[in-house]
Structure 1
Amino acid sequence: MRTNAEAADQSARRISPGNAAGFPPARTHRHTHKQVDRWIQSVSQSVSQSRRTTQIFFLSGRTAEMVCGGFVCTKNSLCALNILYVLVSLLLVGVAAWGKWFGLVSSIRVVAGVISVGIFLFLVAFVGLCGALKHHQVLLFFYMMILFVVFVLQFAVSCACLSLNADQQKHLLEVGWNKSEATQVDLEKTLNCCSFSNVDYNATCPAVCFHKTPQTCSTCSSIILEYAEQVLHFVGGIGLFFSFTEILGVWLTHRYRNLKDPRSNPGAFL
């Protein structure tokens, strides 16, 4: 027969908290408490390790957002590009107004054309900037379409400026010369020349050389053609450079539209 001590020890093993928690049966309560403490310590270490892993993953995710190609980098690049366009548009408007104010250009058509291009560029850049800041899908779509059309036109004009030969340049300049009398007067005063191809001394000319004796005036075409090639190459190069920035803007806008804002609702559409 079992003694009373053996029966009490067996009862203590049955109701021991160690058995309920999955620990092996302990002979005394002291051993049971030590095992519970060890279990609590191991659970605390596991939780701490999980927290460290979560923090590292969060930081790596934030770093991935900042690298080029992430949401934040694409947004900042698009905003910087549109700020550049705003500055260029203000420069165009300012130069046109300055030339008209100081009498360097008397043709209203030329001034109005340059100012119109500056205002159009400013509006396009403003739409792109608002769309980039708000991640607005509609504004970004229309901005991308307009910028692509401008890229096609500007790229074609730039290539044409770079590929014109001497005869084509002369023909183009003559067509522009015949369209505006105000431009003719400005060029004759500035370049000190008369007419485009042939000097007619029986006509009138505002150039200084026309009023001297003897009258020895050069044709404006001979003077303009000396610098036409350099000017066309300069204009074509500038236009080609900005056309590549425009196609870059189209690519950034297309990529930015398909990126989801990490700070928004995870279930929201883009």
Structure 2
Amino acid sequence: MSHVSGAGRIRADDIAGRAGSFVASPQGVGMASRWFLLLLGFLGVLVFVGLGIWQLERRVWKLDLIARVDQRIHAPVVDAPGPAAWADVDAGGYEYRHVRLTGSFSGGASTLVQAVTELGGGYWVLTPMRDDRGFTVLVNRGFVPQESKAEFQQESGGPRSPATVDGLLRISEPGGGFLRSNDPAANRWYSRDVAAIAKARGLTDVAPYFIDAGRSGADGWPRGGLTVVTFRNSHLVYALTWFALAAMLAIALARPIFAGRRKRDAAR
């Protein structure tokens, strides 16, 4: 019995030793590395395919957004939303609506916000307008060039006579521009931040949006109607790029597998 048990232990030790030597051998390590790289490659293919599908979904969303905005811009003009609707005003449901405001410009000095347009560098002129319904809206009266800055900084507001403004409803742009924060204390503005401008000018009952006035037909300043309504839509290109990367990676993974099979078939 002891002889058999000893032989069994010798055979078990021999098998374990051979398995250990295989795992520890360069060939075993190489095989493990190849399987690990193959797994990583397979995961990479899945990630690329997932990114491609995501871009296709983004494209559908962008096309729907473009269609909705285009419909709003060309829809009949409606009154600018009053206080009862302010809680619901957001980019998804209201931005670029064609709206009308009737009242008079008053309530504080204009605010100049740095801008770059088709006319070059300069400023947007935002002036508070008191609507006949009893609330205030910041109206972007249009663009003025750099050399006109001093003239509009000194004005105490726009024309005081009753006026009607037709334009596009825009959502507030809080914080500032790219790498530049608004500085109310120094009167430096890089974005049309409605809340910050209203606070700096001491305005009350201010709508949470502003209005880009349409073109007035006059050649003077400020020049309205310069709102750019374009949406970058390169999602199909991005999707095709991700799918192409997935295909190339899949081919790279499959080539050594098929090459190994051909070698084994040839050796038989």
Which of 1 and 2 has greater Rg?
1
Question: What TM-score, normalized to structure 2?
Answer: 0.31
Structure whose residues are more often strand by fraction: 2
Structure whose residues are more often helix by fraction: 1
